[in-house]
Chains A and B, each alone.
Chain A
Amino acid sequence: MTQLPDEHFVDTAPYDPEEERSKPARPDLDAPNWLLIWRKFRRHKLGLISALFLAVSYLMIPFAGFIAPYTANERNPDHIYAAPQMVRLFHEGKFIGPFVYPENAVRDLEQFRWRYPSDRENPAKLEFFCEGGTHYFLALFKTNRHLFCAPEGATVFLWGADRLGRDVFSRIFYGAQLSMTVGLIGITVSFILGISIGGIAGYFGGAIDWFVNRIIEILRSIPELPLWLALSAAVPSHWGPVAVFFIISIILGLLDWPGLARAVRSKFLSLREEEFVRAAEMMGAKPSRVIRKHLLPNFSSHLIASAMLSIPAMILGETALSFLGLGLRAPAVSWGVMLNDAQNLASIEIYPWTAIPMLPVIFVVLAFNFLGDALRDSLDPYSHD
């Protein structure tokens, strides 16, 4: 460091005016796009946890029948509205492995309800890889093996039983199979419609764009719930649960596309103005090549993020419809169908566990929202902050 007279300061550290020209100026960005997105996404703890939670949840879906101790519609007439049981490890201060205390129904004639005092004398040890009701393992093999079940003479209702004595815990797993996939099917429908319609509007512009936008506005102005109700009321009542399930998810998808179409359209318009797209056009690239090589890769990640944010709406939609009795119907099991039982205020007050299916709905919807937000934030990995 030199301090020359008259406040003239000059740094004396060595300096080479001819720097290397091909050295990456931003070594921190010297990686493919997906890696940059991942690095940024990794810093969103909430998003990361949500992604993990959703991954585990979806991985469990094919094994639902195996994990659940009971099958979906297995009734225990002796245990109507049984309270949640605890899995214990220590009996009278001694470790004997996981067990439950068996419960026997007693009529409470004062309050007119069933009580299930537990039999503290005879601990019933849980059995593992035991035989129970038949289910389809991985949806392929018919089997009657379960991860765990109660021994003869005892029951294991981790989250209680409902008005027909069905296990809430098991039914939540079975319900996940429908409730969590309804969003995926719905989003597929909505994606196909949204991308094609939004893409057409964005690419051709002009009158087509105008019409698409007006249709979107009209669709968005229709109150959602009555329209769902009307559409699902039109589903013939004699259709099987699977058919109804598909129809419901398609209905949800049909009503969800306008939001996605708008996102696609605006992204399309802004990308078309990017200079690299104009460069390709000026080099003589055909529209199909421009779309394939330049437009799609650059907005696929945005699409994924908007999909993540749309799925919760579908899950809530299914739950709402089924809750109102217009979506899936028994014997199909979904979280909404289960909550249908909890419509009665009295039963929630006396048997609060019938409302437990709300919890998975809340967790899954929150997880999708967090994940979607985190993804959206990490999609532009080039900015530095």
Chain B
Amino acid sequence: MNSHEKPLLQVRDLAIGFGSADPIIRNINFDVQRGETVALVGESGSGKTQTCRAVLRILPKAARIHSGSAYLNSDSGGIDLLAMSEKELREIRGDRISMIFQEPMHSLSPLHKIGDQVSEVLILHRDHNKRSAKEIVLQKFERVGFPDPERVFRSYPFELSGGMRQRAMIAMAMVAKPDLLIADEPTTALDVTTQAQVLGLIKDLQRETGMAVILVTHDLGVVANCADKVVVMRDGKIMESGRVSNVLDDPGHAYTRKLIAAAPNIPHEAEPTSARVIEDPILQLENISKSFDLRGGGFMRKGGIIKAVEGVNLTVARGKTFAIVGESGSGKSTVAQIALGARSPDAGGVIKYWPDSGDSAVEVQKLSGDAKRSFQRQAQMVFQDPFSSLSPRMQVIDILTEPLEIHEIGTRSERKDRAIELLEQVDLDPTMLRRFPHAFSGGQRQRLSIARALALKPNLLVCDEPTSALDLSVQMQVLDLLEEIRDNLGLSYLFISHDLAVVARIADEVAVMRRGQIIEQAAPDVLFTAPKHPYTKALIAACLEPDTTQKIDLEAVALGAGNPKTWPEQFRFNGLTAPDLVETEPGHFVRVEL
């Protein structure tokens, strides 16, 4: 057989284990053809990252490859990457196979200039000298979309944003024109609009150079948009693999079906809405701004002032969910903390809270002492990271009864009964009481976190990205749970998220935030079907669904996510004076110049 017909990479019977234990990852077989993108999909702990790292033999120290081969074929014949010596392997790494890592913050050396780091590959593998390497690197920088390659060449990593750093990583991986690019969750740490742009870039480069790509991801939307073939992994085994169209359109395995069902859907049709007057509000924020002093680190110096939130007005209706969507740095979490009284707004901001319908409003920002504690009983928060929100030194029962202890409610045995009741409310087993949180998965821990928030029987729950740290299938279960609890207990939610698709499902009203301001606000179906603002359009365009027919509209993403100065004239703002938020249609507010 001619070597050109052989796949570029053939992985056969790969088994990886930790220490002396039996292999955790086993029976891994897949091929990567030239110019093709193969996606390894799975939830955390499925072994997808270890599998792709095994190919380059950059596994953690304790990991051991038990068996298997990974043939890298070329015109001159195939070589087994798993049987090579370290020295031979160094010739391959960065030259014929290169890798992009998940964390753009940690994968570039902070001490070296980006240009030097990228040129290093050329100097090592291609016998270039500094000057000729720089020329090539500058071309690559231009290709990956840096407006000023010279400046980036001289920059240190901390001078660039996450998306820019990931672009630099891509340039570094691409500069030696590898046959195979391994991208380990290259966009997970990025905002959705940046993710769309980075994926688009990888696809473009692939088309130009004809390299093959192994894309590790947990997101079926990414698979549908970028990959030719997909390998679905779970618990270290392949559940299903094949062409993307076959697997996604006609899944053969129950697990694949479950994953597809768990992927969030974006509404494509809307019912006409009318202007809604909220008659029974529970929480109202009026003219909330928050600026932070940038502390210079000393007691004699004063840094600048940064405005995290500017002029936010919103009303949460009783029994409903109000969602705030925005990317990192949009000020959404600050709004959540202000709403709970954990931070005080700048002068002039008013937070009104109605304990019961018909009661008179309480102004949260003025509360102190007992009144504040009573408010804290009624408004609780669910945190983002289920791994840091539960103390590792406390048993489940102590975690769940702590709020009751703080507010001195009930006797010991009453508290215990309440803890059992709470566990049942969130679909967990009472046998958990004496266990410690670290024995549980992210989803289970997030349920515990929700149970703790419910302990004091609150009226209002502020959920700060409660599902963004979870696997997709678990994310759905947690959203189901939150909806169920809201309806059963009559709770109201202020829901913070960066993910429009999650919000589409749970919210009754959505506000999109960008740089501290609400730029568009409407009911979710209206927002998704008839977005007005270019930024909202970009967010929606960047949402990836596990649907092979839908492709990303990169232009819309690039326009909306770019600098506000490049927005169409009626939306444009230069950071100081933005257009006012106006009601363009009943119940639909947009920051636009009419």
0/1 interface trace, chain A 111-125, chain B, CB 8 Å (1 if under) = 000000000000000
Known A-B contacts A274-B388, A276-B390, A279-B383; the reply to A15 vs B239 at CB < 8 A is yes
* Chain A residues within an 8 Å CB radius of B18: 384-385
Q: B439, A4: Cβ atoms under 8 Å?
A: no
A279–B453 Cα gap in the complex (Å)?
9
Stretch with Cβ within 8 A of A (4 or more), from B245-253, B547-555, B571-579 = B245-253
Q: Which residue of B lies closest to A16 (CB)?
A: B254
Kindly identify which residue among B241, B257, B391, B407 contacts A8, using a CB–CB cutoff of 8 Å: B241
Q: Which residue of B lies closest to A281 (CB)?
A: B342
Known A-B contacts A17-B255, A22-B428, A24-B435; the reply to A33 vs B240 at CB < 8 A is no
Q: How far is the CB of B451 from chain A (nearest CB, A)?
A: 12
* Chain A residues within an 8 Å CB radius of B246: 4, 6, 8
Say whether B51 faces chain A, with CB atoms less than 8 Å apart: no
Q: How far is the CB of A303 from chain B (nearest CB, A)?
A: 14
Q: B242, A15: Cβ atoms under 8 Å?
A: no
* Chain B residues within an 8 Å CB radius of A7: 229, 241-243
Kindly identify which residue among B240, B390, B406, B452 contacts A9, using a CB–CB cutoff of 8 Å: B240
Known A-B contacts A21-B444, A210-B299; the reply to A9 vs B377 at CB < 8 A is no
* Chain B residues within an 8 Å CB radius of A30: 435-436, 439
A8–B431 Cα gap in the complex (Å)?
42
* Chain A residues within an 8 Å CB radius of B406: 280, 283-285, 289
Known A-B contacts A11-B240, A21-B444, A283-B403; the reply to A297 vs B383 at CB < 8 A is no
A36–B393 Cα gap in the complex (Å)?
11
Q: Which residue of A lies closest to B251 (CB)?
A: A10
User: Count of B residues near A, CB < 8 Å?
Assistant: 62
* Chain B residues within an 8 Å CB radius of A283: 376, 380, 402-403, 406-407, 456
Q: B439, A24: Cβ atoms under 8 Å?
A: yes
Q: Which residue of A lies closest to B372 (CB)?
A: A284
* Chain B residues within an 8 Å CB radius of A25: 439-441, 444
Say whether B267 faces chain A, with CB atoms less than 8 Å apart: no
Say whether B129 faces chain A, with CB atoms less than 8 Å apart: no
Of B373, B393, B407, the most chain A CB neighbours within 10 A belong to B393
A27–B395 Cα gap in the complex (Å)?
15
Known A-B contacts A17-B255, A206-B299, A279-B381; the reply to A27 vs B388 at CB < 8 A is no
Q: A32, B436: Cβ atoms under 8 Å?
A: yes
Say whether A140 faces chain B, with CB atoms less than 8 Å apart: no
Kindly identify which residue among B383, B390, B427, B439 contacts A27, using a CB–CB cutoff of 8 Å: B439
* Chain A residues within an 8 Å CB radius of B302: none
Kindly identify which residue among B60, B402, B447 contacts A280, using a CB–CB cutoff of 8 Å: B402
Kindly identify which residue among A24, A279, A284 contacts B389, using a CB–CB cutoff of 8 Å: A279
* Chain A residues within an 8 Å CB radius of B392: 33, 298, 382
Would you list which residues of chain B between 202 and 261 have a CB under 8 Å from chain A? Answer: 229, 237-243, 246-247, 252-255, 257-258
* Chain A residues within an 8 Å CB radius of B385: 275
* Chain B residues within an 8 Å CB radius of A385: 18, 60-62
* Chain B residues within an 8 Å CB radius of A29: 436, 438-439
* Chain A residues within an 8 Å CB radius of B241: 7-9
Say whether B541 faces chain A, with CB atoms less than 8 Å apart: no
Say whether A350 faces chain B, with CB atoms less than 8 Å apart: no
Say whether A282 faces chain B, with CB atoms less than 8 Å apart: yes
Would you list which residues of chain A between 28 and 53 have a CB under 8 Å from chain B? Answer: 29-33, 36
Say whether B467 faces chain A, with CB atoms less than 8 Å apart: no
Q: How far is the CB of A281 from chain B (nearest CB, A)?
A: 7
Kindly identify which residue among B381, B384, B441 contacts A26, using a CB–CB cutoff of 8 Å: B441
A71–B287 Cα gap in the complex (Å)?
82
Q: How far is the CB of B356 from chain A (nearest CB, A)?
A: 20
Q: B436, A31: Cβ atoms under 8 Å?
A: yes
* Chain A residues within an 8 Å CB radius of B257: 17
Say whether A344 faces chain B, with CB atoms less than 8 Å apart: no
Q: Which residue of A lies closest to B247 (CB)?
A: A8
Kindly identify which residue among A9, A21, A210, A284 contacts B242, using a CB–CB cutoff of 8 Å: A9
* Chain A residues within an 8 Å CB radius of B436: 29-33
Kindly identify which residue among A11, A22, A275, A297 contacts B444, using a CB–CB cutoff of 8 Å: A22
Say whether A267 faces chain B, with CB atoms less than 8 Å apart: no
Q: How far is the CB of B109 from chain A (nearest CB, A)?
A: 23
Kindly identify which residue among A15, A36, A210, A289 contacts B253, using a CB–CB cutoff of 8 Å: A15
* Chain A residues within an 8 Å CB radius of B255: 15, 17
Q: How far is the CB of A105 from chain B (nearest CB, A)?
A: 60
Known A-B contacts A22-B429, A275-B383; the reply to A8 vs B252 at CB < 8 A is yes
Kindly identify which residue among B340, B395, B428, B435 contacts A282, using a CB–CB cutoff of 8 Å: B340
0/1 interface trace, chain B 531-558, chain A, CB 8 Å (1 if under) = 0000000000000000000000000000
* Chain B residues within an 8 Å CB radius of A22: 428-429, 431-432, 444
Say whether A222 faces chain B, with CB atoms less than 8 Å apart: no
* Chain A residues within an 8 Å CB radius of B340: 282
Q: A6, B243: Cβ atoms under 8 Å?
A: yes
Q: How far is the CB of B344 from chain A (nearest CB, A)?
A: 14
* Chain B residues within an 8 Å CB radius of A55: none
Q: B237, A11: Cβ atoms under 8 Å?
A: yes
Q: Which residue of B lies closest to A286 (CB)?
A: B406
Known A-B contacts A11-B239, A279-B452; the reply to A21 vs B429 at CB < 8 A is yes
Q: Which residues of B contact A (CB under 8 A)?
A: 18, 29, 60-62, 229, 237-243, 246-247, 252-255, 257-258, 298-299, 340, 342, 372-373, 376-377, 380-381, 383-385, 388-395, 402-403, 406-407, 427-429, 431-432, 435-436, 438-441, 444, 447, 449, 452, 456
A9-B241, A27-B439 known; 10 new pairs, CB 8 Å cut-off, are A8-B240, A17-B258, A25-B440, A26-B438, A30-B436, A31-B436, A32-B436, A275-B385, A283-B456, A382-B392
The 8 A-B residue pairs with the shortest CB-CB distance in the complex, in nearest-first order: A22-B429, A25-B441, A8-B242, A10-B252, A30-B439, A275-B389, A24-B439, A284-B376
28 contacts between A and B (CB under 8 A): A4-B242, A4-B246, A7-B241, A8-B241, A8-B243, A10-B253, A15-B253, A17-B254, A22-B432, A24-B439, A25-B440, A25-B441, A26-B438, A26-B441, A27-B439, A30-B439, A33-B436, A206-B299, A274-B388, A275-B389, A276-B390, A279-B389, A282-B376, A282-B380, A294-B391, A297-B391, A298-B391, A385-B60
